[in-house]
Homo-oligomer: A and B are copies of this chain.
Amino acid sequence: MVLEANLASVHAISLFVVLLCICILIGHLLEKTRWISSTIIDLVIGFSTGAIILYLSKGTSSLLFKFDEQLFFNYVLPPIIFNAGFKVEKKQFFHNFTTIMLLGAIGTLISFIVISQGAQQLFKHLDVGFLDFGDFLAIGVIFAATDSVSILQVLKQEETPLVYSLVFGESVVNDATSVVLFNVIQKFKLTTTVVGSTVARQFVGDLVYLFVASTFLGVIIGLVCAYVTKKMCFGRHSSDREIAVMFLMAYLSYMMAILFNLSGILSSFVCGIIMSHYAWHNVTANSRVSIKHGIAAMSFVAETFIFLYVGMDALDVERWRFVLHSLGTCVRVSASLLGLVLVSRAAFVFPLSFLASLTRRGAAEKIGFRHQILIWWAGLIRGSVSLALAYHQFTTSALTQKRENAMLITSTITVVIFSTLVFGMLTKPLVWVLLPSSRKVDNNNESPEPTTSMTTLLGDLGLPLFSNGKDSKVNMTCNLARRSILRTFITTPSSTIHFYWRKFDNSVMRPVFGGNPVR
């Protein structure tokens, strides 16, 4: 083609696509060695490419293009979050709902307070430069945001079903809470430590409003999509239309939330849950398979993209020029932030897990100390959301103009890479040490068959939220979940709510919005 003006972007896109392919190939080859997650591979390949570009450009740049928040928030994040909602195990999620909300919402708030207060105290003793109160609050949010992507890669559902469900659920609520918190902080633009009670009340009010409104928006768009797909029977003429409508509506749930100043993350996550519960069952078999795998593949590419970029960005020359002048300070800042991450997470995981255990009946339901340690550990990884928020707070169009800003970006990248590499790699050994029984499950799982058979495909259609090409194991989990619901229905009131919801769902919701008739 002739469009010379866009040749630079063509270069960048082509190289990025090639790198993505390489990441996928190597990730596949190293799939069995779970010590190295594909996140780590992406980081290493990104870093190496950055080094090569840096060498070829004779030290002027390691990047193909500058970080573009808009690209990240408008295009890369939505598929990841929607996919998380779409494939969440609804039964497990709602079964552990109170615990997940405790850890995800209250826990994130505690973590946020500990980190921002801790940073304010610690940074006094380090030569960081001037940061106002709003900056410290932002630091609190940035390092309170866990990385749900990496968590899914290091924990396996079959090994530790309870921890997996809690940590994954928590990480999604945490994503939403962090972004909502960040929005509110940005809105109030607090520069002094003195915060009046009116401001504090407004702050909390906004937080609650954002949570409720975003959830509501996600539910509405999900239900509209379900109603439309049920009434229109698109499949009669072409499956393209129903696939297109579902993808577009999913994206709409994110963009509309942003348009109304709500949390796109929460809204599209909720929309994903609703769509997988109703709309997904209204479309043809072909479309169902395509939508499920299409969204998963998009999310997968988006995740790979993020870590590739972070790997490249770690070598950003301009930023290092600032940082190298005060390398010692930078190391100290990164180390204290890492320490705060460890402490702040401990500060809520252990007390809140204890609290949650009080409301949970039966020994199997209690969260034991070993499980608490795992929950604490698995949520230590920091990732894409932290980075995106840090870029947003401390850069102006991705150029770090002040020394302290450059330092904080570098520290964020350091914490992200360190936590991904070290904490991520140590998770599997830790699971083995703490839960020796899990090793057996893992060994059984060593050589799964290629999922080419028709049975898998049929399984995929029948068991939307439990299937992953390992049907037998999945059915087991499914049965377990059913049994425990029956038992808890007798012992705890939360199951009563679940029972009435099921009744309401079957008699009112499903006839209108569609959904799987046999449950």
Copies of this chain, whole number: 2
Closest chain-B Cβ to A495's Cβ sits at a distance in Å of: 34
> How far does the alpha carbon of A251 sit from the alpha carbon of B244 in the complex, in Å?
19
A28-B234, A247-B301, A285-B454 given; name 8 further pairs at CB < 8 Å: A1-B263, A10-B255, A13-B74, A18-B252, A235-B452, A244-B301, A285-B457, A286-B460
Closest chain-B Cβ to A377's Cβ sits at a distance in Å of: 25
**Cβ contacts under 8 Å, A241 to chain B:** 24, 27-28, 300
> How far does the alpha carbon of A256 sit from the alpha carbon of B261 in the complex, in Å?
39
Give 1 or 0 for each of A443-455: 1 = CB within 8 Å of chain B CB. Answer: 0000011111110
Give 1 or 0 for each of A172-206: 1 = CB within 8 Å of chain B CB. Answer: 00000001001100110000000000000000000
**Cβ contacts under 8 Å, A70 to chain B:** 3, 5-6, 9
Tell me which of B234, B247, B451 contacts A236 (CB under 8 A).
B451
Residues of chain A at interface, number, CB under 8 A = 85
Inter-subunit contact A294/B243 (CB<8 Å): yes
> How far does the alpha carbon of A249 sit from the alpha carbon of B14 in the complex, in Å?
10
Inter-subunit contact B293/A243 (CB<8 Å): yes
**Cβ contacts under 8 Å, A257 to chain B:** 1
A435 in the interface (beta carbon within 8 A)? no
Inter-subunit contact B300/A1 (CB<8 Å): no
Inter-subunit contact B293/A240 (CB<8 Å): yes
**Cβ contacts under 8 Å, A481 to chain B:** none
A264 in the interface (beta carbon within 8 A)? yes
Give 1 or 0 for each of A246-266: 1 = CB within 8 Å of chain B CB. Answer: 011101100111110101100
**Cβ contacts under 8 Å, A245 to chain B:** 21, 24-25
Inter-subunit contact B259/A14 (CB<8 Å): yes
Give 1 or 0 for each of A340-358: 1 = CB within 8 Å of chain B CB. Answer: 0000000000000000000
Closest chain-B Cβ to A194's Cβ sits at a distance in Å of: 23
**Cβ contacts under 8 Å, A232 to chain B:** 25, 28-29
* Most B C-beta atoms less than 10 A away, residue of A297, A299, A300: A297
* Residues of chain A at the chain B interface (Cβ within 8 Å): 1-3, 5-7, 9-11, 13-14, 17-18, 20-21, 24-25, 27-29, 31, 69-70, 73-74, 179, 182-183, 186-187, 228, 232-241, 243-245, 247-249, 251-252, 255-259, 261, 263-264, 284-287, 289-290, 292-294, 296-297, 299-301, 304, 392, 448-454, 456-458, 460, 469
Closest chain-B Cβ to A321's Cβ sits at a distance in Å of: 26
Inter-subunit contact B259/A11 (CB<8 Å): yes
Closest chain-B Cβ to A260's Cβ sits at a distance in Å of: 10
Closest chain-B Cβ to A9's Cβ sits at a distance in Å of: 7
Inter-subunit contact B21/A297 (CB<8 Å): no
- Nearest residue, chain B, Cβ from A262: B1
A286-B3 contact in complex given A234-B28, A236-B451, A452-B235, C-beta closer than 8 Å: no
A294-B290 contact in complex given A236-B451, A255-B17, C-beta closer than 8 Å: yes
Can you report 27 residue pairs joining A to B where beta carbons are below 8 Å apart?
Answer: A1-B263, A2-B186, A2-B261, A3-B73, A6-B69, A7-B259, A10-B255, A14-B252, A14-B256, A17-B252, A18-B252, A20-B248, A24-B245, A25-B228, A28-B241, A235-B451, A236-B448, A239-B293, A239-B451, A240-B296, A240-B297, A240-B300, A247-B301, A248-B301, A284-B451, A285-B454, A286-B451
Closest chain-B Cβ to A185's Cβ sits at a distance in Å of: 9
**Cβ contacts under 8 Å, A296 to chain B:** 239-240, 243
> How far does the alpha carbon of A213 sit from the alpha carbon of B396 in the complex, in Å?
43
- Nearest residue, chain B, Cβ from A6: B70
- Nearest residue, chain B, Cβ from A233: B450
Inter-subunit contact A10/B297 (CB<8 Å): no
> How far does the alpha carbon of A16 sit from the alpha carbon of B464 in the complex, in Å?
30
**Cβ contacts under 8 Å, A297 to chain B:** 239-240, 243-244, 247, 290, 294
Inter-subunit contact A31/B255 (CB<8 Å): no
**Cβ contacts under 8 Å, A286 to chain B:** 289, 293, 451, 456-457, 460
Inter-subunit contact A183/B1 (CB<8 Å): yes
**Cβ contacts under 8 Å, A255 to chain B:** 10, 13-14, 17
> How far does the alpha carbon of A208 sit from the alpha carbon of B142 in the complex, in Å?
56
Closest chain-B Cβ to A471's Cβ sits at a distance in Å of: 13
* Most B C-beta atoms less than 10 A away, residue of A31, A448, A452: A452
> How far does the alpha carbon of A5 sit from the alpha carbon of B17 in the complex, in Å?
28
Inter-subunit contact B74/A10 (CB<8 Å): yes
Closest chain-B Cβ to A27's Cβ sits at a distance in Å of: 7
Closest chain-B Cβ to A519's Cβ sits at a distance in Å of: 19
